[in-house]
Amino acid sequence: MISQVFILSSKGDHLIYKDYFRRRNHYNHKDLYFLHIRQGGLYWVATTTVGSSPFAIIEFLNRLAALVKDYCGSLSEKSVQMNFALIYELLDEIVDYGYIQTMSSDVLKNFIQTEAVTSRPFSLFDLSNVGLFGAETQQSKVAPSSAATRPIQSSREQGGKSEIFVDVIERMTVVIGSNGVLMKADVEGEIRVKCYMPSCSEMRIGLNEEFSIGKSQLRGYGAAVRVDECSFHQAVRLDEFDSHRILRLCPSQGEQTVMQYQLSDDLPSALPFRLFPTIERDNGGRLLMYMKLRCDLPPKRSPLTFVCLISLSQELSSPDQSAELKPQSRAVVWQIARFAGGTQLSALFKLEVPSLSSASMLEVGPVGLSFELPKITATGLQIRFLRLSPVQPGPSQRWVRYVTHSDSYTIRI
């Protein structure tokens, strides 16, 4: 049972405040429990009184944030401020007297009357120099990240484009031991569909035909694309999945995660990055870190962002290297703007460390890499085709995007 919902800015200002029991003044703070999440730089807070499962409320807040994102296009302080009437209406519809009624955008679209306000109309063209997920890049063939951040209702309007975005997003968790042995490799992936089609009755997503789930099942002769387990959105029909690896669904407007999958330990391709570190102490008592970093991506593929974070348990004085030193986190941050596949980079860091001992040498590390690889999936999952039926009247655009993030890519030294 939800008593109040707040949306707070990052500074803690009230953007939206909805009280479902304002009149019951016998509630004092003692009986109220606050739960919050943080999304889109905003705090989403709910208070509850009795008998609620914290799961329900956290799930509610997450769904609320997703709904507001669907309805307003993007999540930011500004978009929330501009759409308070819409969000208030949403809050009014989804919760009645503290009880969650429905959060399905298909049901809600019957009720929600207010139109979203966006700061400016989005056009694919004025953003062509901005790459996927907002980073600077020359990848002009990729749809701009902001293309998918517009309110779902805009497709009701005259100018609303019929568009569909299918994103394959994978997150890698890798731990490489100090001896260079891969200790753990996990990939979590999901296929996300964001639909702006007012009249799309069915959509068929074809995955690689050799896609297989679990260890026993191997298909075809080629290198199988394998995941350990898979879960699907409840709207997905799987009658063609077993035979042809086709997901059928009727996408509702807005964003939904169609499929989630996971692969542990057994990656089909080589790891994208390898690091060969050497750590020494020179005669002047300085700590020498020699880092050789190799990018094993196919040529012409390169990460969009790449940060190498070397943590040191040492107190550091200023180094004589130009790489950035973060004294607060006691780490060296080595940022590489361009790093083409198949190349190798080396760097030598010399660090002045007071009272360097051999014991403290052991306290260096681990190295963490963070990167974003566009157009690459670690599992090899590909979208073979994307078909919509009935055939859309007028021009419609379909975007398929792949990206692999580093969730946690750690190399122990």
Please give the residues from 150 up to 169 whose contact with other proteins meets the rule CB under 8 A: 156-158
Note whether 33 binds other proteins by CB under 8 A. yes
Q: How far is the CB of 227 from other proteins (least distance, A)?
A: 13
CA atoms of 143 and 132, how far apart (whole Å): 7
Q: How far is the CB of 201 from other proteins (least distance, A)?
A: 10
Note whether 412 binds other proteins by CB under 8 A. yes
Contact 185, 258 (CB under 8 A): no
Residue 91, H or E segment: helix 84-94
Note whether 262 binds other proteins by CB under 8 A. yes
Residues 279-298 binding other proteins (CB under 8 A) are none
- Closest to other proteins by CB, 188 or 372: 188
CA 189 to chain centre: 10
Residue from 149, 212, 305, 311 in contact with other proteins (CB under 8 A):
311
Note whether 128 binds other proteins by CB under 8 A. no
Note whether 121 binds other proteins by CB under 8 A. no
Q: How far is the CB of 142 from other proteins (least distance, A)?
A: 26
Q: How far is the CB of 15 from other proteins (least distance, A)?
A: 8
Residue from 8, 16, 291, 304 in contact with other proteins (CB under 8 A):
16
Q: Could you tell me which of 10, 17, 11 has the C-alpha nearest to residue 39?
A: 10
Amino acid type, 22? R
Q: How far is the CB of 167 from other proteins (least distance, A)?
A: 17
Residues 60-119 binding other proteins (CB under 8 A) are 60-62, 84-85, 87-89, 92, 96-97, 99-103, 110-111, 113-115
Contact 302, 341 (CB under 8 A): yes
Q: In what order do the strands lie in the sheet with 344-352?
A: 273-281, 286-295, 344-352
CA atoms of 251 and 264, how far apart (whole Å): 29
Note whether 250 binds other proteins by CB under 8 A. no
Q: How far is the CB of 202 from other proteins (least distance, A)?
A: 15
CA atoms of 87 and 79, how far apart (whole Å): 10
Q: Could you tell me which of 276, 270, 292 has the C-alpha nearest to residue 380?
A: 270
Note whether 363 binds other proteins by CB under 8 A. yes
Which stretch in 17-25, 123-131, 240-248, 297-305 sits in contact with other proteins by CB under 8 A? 17-25
CA atoms of 230 and 212, how far apart (whole Å): 10
Note whether 354 binds other proteins by CB under 8 A. no
Which stretch in 127-135, 144-152, 356-364, 381-389 sits in contact with other proteins by CB under 8 A? 356-364
Burial 293-330 (b: 16+ CB within 10 A, else e): bbbebeeeebbbbbbbbbbbebebeebeeebebeeeee
Q: How far is the CB of 139 from other proteins (least distance, A)?
A: 26
Q: How far is the CB of 117 from other proteins (least distance, A)?
A: 10
CA atoms of 94 and 103, how far apart (whole Å): 6
Residue from 234, 243, 283, 358 in contact with other proteins (CB under 8 A):
234
Note whether 396 binds other proteins by CB under 8 A. no
> What would the DSSP string read from start to end of 106-128?
HHHTTT--PPP--SS---SSTTT
Note whether 12 binds other proteins by CB under 8 A. no
